[in-house]
Structures are given as structure tokens and as C-alpha cells.
Amino acid sequence: MKEQAKLQQNLSLQHLVFLGLAWMTPMIYFSIYGIAYNAAGGMLTQAYLLAFVAIMFTAYSYSMMARAHSTSGSAYSYVKQAIHPYLGFLVGWALLLDYLFSPIIACLTFGIYMHAQFPAIPVYTWMIGINLLMTAVNIRGASFSANLSKLFVLLQMCFIALFCILLIRNFSMHTGALEPILQTRIPLTTILTGASIICFSFLGFDSITTMTEETKNAHKNIPRAIGIIIGVASIIYVTPSYLTQLVFPKAIAFVNLDAAGLEIVQKVGGAALSSIFIIVLLFAIFTQGISSVSSVSRLMYVMGRESILPSRIFAYVHPKLKTPIVNILIVGMVSMLALIISLDAAVKFVNFGALTAFFFVNIAVIGYYFVKESRRSAVDTLRYLIIPGIGAIIIMWLFALLSKDALLMGFGWLLFGILYHAYRTQGTRLKQIITLKRNKLRLRLERSKSAL
């Protein structure tokens, strides 16, 4: 019997870091600038610092579970092995929602921006074009995707560095150096509201856990990569927000909150920097799309290999390319939903799936280390109960801030998953019963023949 091809271990620590940053997209700082600025009362530096602290607890939990389990299923595998297979399925199903809609968001935003620049070309042309390109890049392999992601992430980081340099050049001593961090004029509740929005800027660090089986020395490199990604992202977000508050200490009135990122870029660097901004933003969207397709195709592979999804389709790996090529093509077809779905609806699906996975990974640390492994010394209680417990509480708070539409769509997706699982389970049991009866009948016939 021909041996099934497997994923190839060719991803280094550097590859993981850039794939994670690509999914996270450094340029998202500008994409949500207006909404976050308004929600935080202009105190973006404090809001970003609070968001960093909040998300660090969940990042810690992902690192703990990555050390214990060397499979590529991310939250699905962690919850399945630490708590219960059925709960693992539900978490994986919710995470699938997050990952499936991330490439759709990339197609939508790319199409919107390109159509704005070239109105004569229909928006669907750009959406289809970027979808085909993302699919082709991922078929080539994870290392190729990682190298391409590295190039475009560095381009984004260079733009943010240029933005910061121009801010420093515009700096005047109207504001104290510690004012953006230590101010008390704006209430903490307002800043926390801004932090709840900003937390979504950190989504994506978990995506690299879907590539564990393609990573060299995964039990060490995955946790290291998570820490580096969160640290680099925090510097990328906090530095420009701090410098912007120094240069513009008074409240800024934006014409359009959705386009506030572009407005602040124009204030700092004029038309020339704005043109560069648009180009870099388009590259950022493309890079995020590549990383998203990589993540969801690997999650589907693991769920297919474990027969949660049909294994003949989803567990297939191309023998030469060493990629789950069928999954990548399926994601490409699903991403065509960008032609009929709104950006708002897609974002709501992503937020529900991500927060569900984050919550249960925190719980999985408690279930695996504190309950199953009985690690309950004073230090272990802090590491495996208190820290992940705080992470779970923070995620519950963020979950409570989701809109009713997001909750309705998310729970609707979970209900569909429950029905699908019941159908698959009953189908499997029916096959087992039929096989058992056939075997018993065959055995009786053989005994009858031998008696004659």
C-alpha cells in the first residue's frame, strides 16, 4: 500500500515569526486608527499598553500548550487532548470560522482599496485576482509563503519606521515625555474601551500553531515565536502611538474615522507619504491573505487526518509539493464569498471564532497541567491556574463586548457544527453496526459449512 505523503518540516523560527506577523498585519495600526482613537479618548498609548498586557495572558497559554503538544491543530488539538474530544471539535469548528473568513477579509479589503484607486476596473476583478494569487503562492509550499511574507512584513515595518522618523522631526516640546503614558484626564473606563478594540490588532499570533508539524524543533520554536511576535507587534503599535501623542497633544478631529489612518499619515508626511501608505497597505493585505490561507488549510488537514472532516479529501498532502493542496483549493473557492458578503459580516465571524478559541486555550492549560498533571505547587498554581485563569476572564470580557449580530452568527455556526458532528457520528456508528453484523453472519456461515 502506498504511504500517505506528510507535511515537511522546513520552517525555522524566523519563518514562524514572519508568518505570524503577516497574519497579524503591522499596518492594521493605521486601519483601525480612527475607531481606536475615538474609543480611547485619544489615549492610544495607554490603550495599546493595556491591550498588550491583556493579550499576553492568552499568548502565554498558547506557549504552554505548544510545549506539551506537537500537533498542528492549534486550539482544536489543545482542547481535545487537555479536556475532551467533543469540546475540542467545537473549538476547532469555531476556529475554522475565524480562519476561513480571514482570506475573505483580505479579498474584500484589497478589492475595495484597488477599486478606489482604479474605479474603471470592477471590484470583483481585484477580488478574484488576489484570491487566485494567494492560492497559487500557498500551493508552492509553506517556506515559499514564509519568505514572501518576510519581504512584505519588512516593507510594512520600514513604512512604520519612516512614519516614526517623520514624527520625531515634527516633534516640539509642548508635551511632557511621560504624558501619553501617565495622564489621568481621560477615565480608565474609556481607555479600557479603546483597549478592547485594540486587542483585535494582536489576533494572528496563534496562527503559527497550525504549522507545528512543518516546524523544526517545534516544542521550542513555537513558544519562542509567539513571544517574539507579541513583543515586536507591541513595539510596532506603541512607538507610533506614543510619538503621535507627543506631536499632536490636543484632540484630533478626523473627517472620516474609517479613513483616519490615512488622514494622520497626510498630516505627518503629506501627499508623498500618503501615496506610499496606500501601496504598502495593499501589500500588507496580500500578505495577511497568504498567511490566512496557510493557517486554515493546515487546520483542515489535521481535522481531516483525524476524520473530523472527510479524510480522503482533507487529509491529502501532495507528494511532491508537500502541501495540503486540496484544502488550499477549497479555501480558494470559499474565499469567492467575498463577491457577495459584506466586510462587516466577515469581521464579526472572525472575532467570534478567535475569542472562542482564545478562551478555551486558557482553560486547556488549567485542564492539562493543573488537573491532569496535578502540578499544584505554589509556583505551578501561579503558572497553570492563576495566569491562564486571568487570561480566560479577560477574553470573557472581550467576548461580552461583541455585537448581538456577531453572537447570533457565531452561535448559528456552532449549531451547524453540532448537527454536522451528530450526522458524522451516527453515520460512523451505523457503518460499524453493519460491519459487525456482516462479520457475525460470515462467521455463522463458516461454522455451518464446517459442521456439514
Predicted local distance difference test score (pLDDT) of residue 230: 94
Asked if 294 contacts 138 with a C-beta cutoff of 8 angstroms, the reply is yes
**Closest among 360, 408, 31 to 197, alpha carbons compared:** 31
Pair (62, 208) in one structural domain: yes
| Residue range(s) defining the domain that contains residue 369 | 13-402
Q: Are residues 306 and 450 in the same domain?
A: no
Residue pair 320/313 in contact (Cβ under 8 Å)? The answer is: no
Cell readout for 179 is: 504624558
Give 160-203 pLDDT, tens digit per residue: 999 999 998 877 655 567 777 877 788 888 888 888 888 878 87
Query: What's the pLDDT at 1?
Result: 40
**Cβ-Cβ contacts under 8 Å for 266 (sequence gap 6 or more):** 273, 274
Distance of CA 239 to the CA centre of its chain: 23
Whether residue 94 lies inside any domain: the answer is yes
Same domain flag for 328 and 430:
no
Measured CA to CA, the distance from residue 79 to residue 93 in angstroms comes to 12
Quote the CA–CA distance of 315 and 96 in Å, as a whole number.
15
Residue 165 lies in a domain: yes
Q: What is the pLDDT, as a whole number, of residue 63? A: 92
**Which has the closest alpha carbon to 294: 336, 328, 338?**
328
Q: Distance between CA atoms of 445 and 96, rounded to whole angstroms?
A: 48
Rounded to an integer, the average pLDDT of 377-385 is: 95
My answer on whether 396 and 438 are in the same domain is no
* Closest to 194 measured CA to CA, from 51, 292, 60, 59: 51
Residues in contact with 166: Cβ distance below 8 Å, sequence separation at least 6, in sequence order: 268, 269, 273
| Averaged pLDDT score across all residues of the chain | 85
- Could you tell me if 432 and 316 lie in one domain? no
List, for residues 310-343, the tens digit of each pLDDT value.
Answer: 888 898 888 888 888 999 999 999 999 999 988 7
| Residue 257: exposure state from Cβ atoms within 10 A (0-12, 13-18, ≥19) | middle
Question: How does pLDDT run across 12-41, given as a tens digit for each residue?
Answer: 898 889 888 988 889 988 888 888 898 888
Note the pLDDT tens digit of each residue in 94-132.
988 888 888 998 898 888 888 877 889 998 999 999 999
- Tell me what percent of the residues of the chain surpass a pLDDT of 70: 92
Residue 2 placed within a domain: no
Q: Answer yes or no: is pLDDT of 422 > 60.
A: yes
E-strand stretches of 80-167 = none
Q: How far is CA 196 from the centre of its chain?
A: 16
Instruction: Please check whether residues 163 and 238 belong to one and the same domain.
Output: yes
Q: Among 211-220, 277-286, 407-416, 441-450, name the one with the lowest average pLDDT.
A: 441-450
Same domain, 151 and 298: yes
